[in-house]
Amino acid sequence: MSSTLRRVAWLAVAAAAAAGCDFQPDPEEGPSALPPARAATVRIEYRQPQGCQNAAPEHCVDLVWFFGSWMHPGEEIPLELVPGSYLWTGTASGVPVNWPPTEQPHLVRVFDPHLKDTTTGGVTAARLSVGGQLLSRFDSPGTAKESGLVYIDDDGVGRNPY
């Protein structure tokens, strides 16, 4: 009798498996959440050339503005002049981390009112330090689209492309 009971039990298990019964719990509905984007706070420093190169000096007292490729319109950062110097500084928060390099470097630049009447129209990446790194790689140098190339690590340290 126990062998008959065993056969019935095996038959019931086989029938349940053939019917597609799944005894495991179902996973949660929907896709899994994306991992949070890594972001850092980065120090910006720009050394302004001595002397305004504009024909009309009224713009020589305007602020220097910083732009980054991750920024949306209206998120530009006005830099502050360090008293008694030609050094402008600021802090960019929420900068996407892109180091180690898995994508393109960030493009960064400033608008310097001292250079408004030059061929770049005041846009430059020369003499710009991002995250403590003086930039040495540039895109479209000497034009109004001049930008410095930089990677940012988790600690907000800038790195020049190879």
Is-contact 93 145, C-beta < 8 A?
Answer: no
In this structure, CATH architecture of domain 39-159: Sandwich (2.60)
* Prediction pTM value: 0.76
Which two structure tokens, joined as six digits, stand for 15?
Answer: 């029938």
* pLDDT tens track for 142-158: 999 999 999 999 999 99
* pLDDT tens track for 35-72: 778 999 999 999 999 888 787 788 788 999 999 999 99
How high does pLDDT run on average in the chain? 89
Give dist(CA 148, CA 130) in Å, integer: 9
Helix (H) or strand (E) holding 10: helix 2-18
**Any idea how long the chain is?**
162
pLDDT at 131: 97
Which two structure tokens, joined as six digits, stand for 3?
Answer: 């062998």
Give dist(CA 75, CA 13) in Å, integer: 64
